[in-house]
A and B are shown apart, each in its own frame.
Chain A
């Protein structure tokens, strides 16, 4: 579906016409990310991060395929093949660091993309499916990143694998057999490394498939926008090509500068030095931390230190950690406010900036810190707010809040209320 005023695909070259009659793939591209997709004219820079996330996925797939050409998933040589890729393979250092830092860049981009959704209510009707598929993508990304971090078979790889698969051991009755089934043994070893490699290669293509569904679902109602007011007329939109292709292209340039700085000047700053020590099952590093993008959830895992009625603390931590992401699935139904954008929701905006964001920041910090006081208590308080924000604050706020008056249309929000402005054809300003 698209708006009635969307540009129609009219191939000029006879070959493209011939193609369109048989396999209308160019038409699909034209209508998805070309001139045939009308987009609200008022998108701010936060809307660039979706396109950027797709770019990150492609960077990861390309550099990942290269890495797989030089890597061997065997505990005897895995560590060395990564080091040899970096030292001996032509441009291997660049491929390796682009892949490792690319994962971090991907998560930075995706976190901005997700929190854009939180602030502007992008998850609300009629875009619930877009949101739900997005959460699925995020879960798949986490699984993929975790397994990728195991592959170099350094100390953090090994102990990360042990701790994370140990989480499944917390499940009553089936936990231990499940953990052994996941690992193919009693501890992470060759069987685990091999299957992690297999799945690490597979999952990005699964993510790619879900991304296509995510974009498909997005194109049914069309993109949201910072006012949260739906598109009413042609003057509210501009075609994706050339307007947003140009804007996204410019933003890719900005992103490339940041990525290059990381890649060429600070390639190891987001990694952990212990992962340059080969895996040793007999010795645990003094301070096990996951990759930085897992820190908020790792802090929630460790925040549970007391048994909760009959549920042991360890299981509570595991449930809470997964629950912290699963609660996002229910977001469209927890936040019942008909107003989408946080810009027109004074109370919601306060809880977003002074509640959710600080809680996430604190959890992020505590997740990377040692598991000692005062960090445990601080992360308990932050985790408490995190869950309260979604389960208590959002339903109450959406019930009692008096939103600000919304603009009549996107065009009005951009150009003011005079009649000439409202009648301005798209792209004329």
Chain B
């Protein structure tokens, strides 16, 4: 009764069984992989409000956003001028200060305090910390120097300090995330 050509009943059962096992395998792997992603409580804490009223021009603060430092800096007119004087074509990661700040609030430079090289916290936001040769931030780990728009100017970091998503909820309160 065995058929000599075409798909035999046994072939069909084999393919069906292996396919079903494969699909079931994928179904088991998805939860096993996905459980390692950021959990709901971690994601829920991913927005932060900061009161910036006390930050004088030339000062900066470190705040916490997603368990990482975020720098809020009130630029002086001189620092803004320095940032605007740079030819963006000469930059590793070309961006203007205006592109990195909100319109009308160009003195408020808000960036992650995470060096884009390997994730160290650059110096320059705290009182008395060195700001590096470009007057912005300086990462002590591998010597990346950022300018007054937190753009990478020297050292191994590939990108400017990341500007997180944020909005001014009032003139003195910023919501990050």
Q: Which residues on A are within 8 Å of B, measured CB to CB?
A: 159, 162-163, 166-167, 169, 180-187, 189, 191, 195, 281-284, 286-288, 302, 304-305, 307, 312-314, 317, 371-372
Contacts and interface: CB of A to CB of B under 8 A. Distances in A.
Interface in B4-33: 33
B120 A302 contact: no
B120 A288 contact: yes
Contact of B120 (A284, A312, A372): A284
A186 B66 contact: yes
Contacts of B143: 371-372
Contacts, number: 85
Nearest to A372: B143
Nearest to B33: A181
B68 interface: yes
B69 A282 contact: yes
A302 B155 CA distance: 11
B38 A314 contact: no
Interface string B129-146: 000000000011111000
Nearest to B92: A307
Contact of B42 (A159, A191, A286, A312): A191
Nearest to A281: B67
Nearest to B142: A371
30 contacts: A159-B120, A162-B119, A162-B120, A163-B120, A166-B118, A167-B118, A180-B37, A180-B38, A182-B36, A184-B38, A184-B42, A185-B38, A185-B39, A185-B42, A186-B67, A186-B68, A187-B66, A187-B68, A191-B38, A191-B42, A281-B64, A281-B68, A283-B121, A286-B140, A302-B156, A305-B155, A312-B158, A313-B156, A313-B158, A371-B141
Contacts of A287: 140-141
B102 interface: no
Contact of A184 (B37, B66, B156): B37
Interface residues on B, range: 20 to 34
B117 A282 contact: no
A287 B66 CA distance: 24
A284 B140 contact: yes
A305 B117 CA distance: 11
A68 B143 CA distance: 38
A181 B42 CA distance: 12
A307 B139 CA distance: 19
Nearest to A318: B118
Contacts of B69: 281-282
A327 B141 CA distance: 28
Contacts of A181: 33, 36-37
Contacts of A281: 64, 67-69
A184 B33 CA distance: 11
B78 to A, nearest CB: 28
A371 B141 CA distance: 7
B36 A282 contact: no
A216 B142 CA distance: 44
Interface in B128-177: 139-143, 155-158
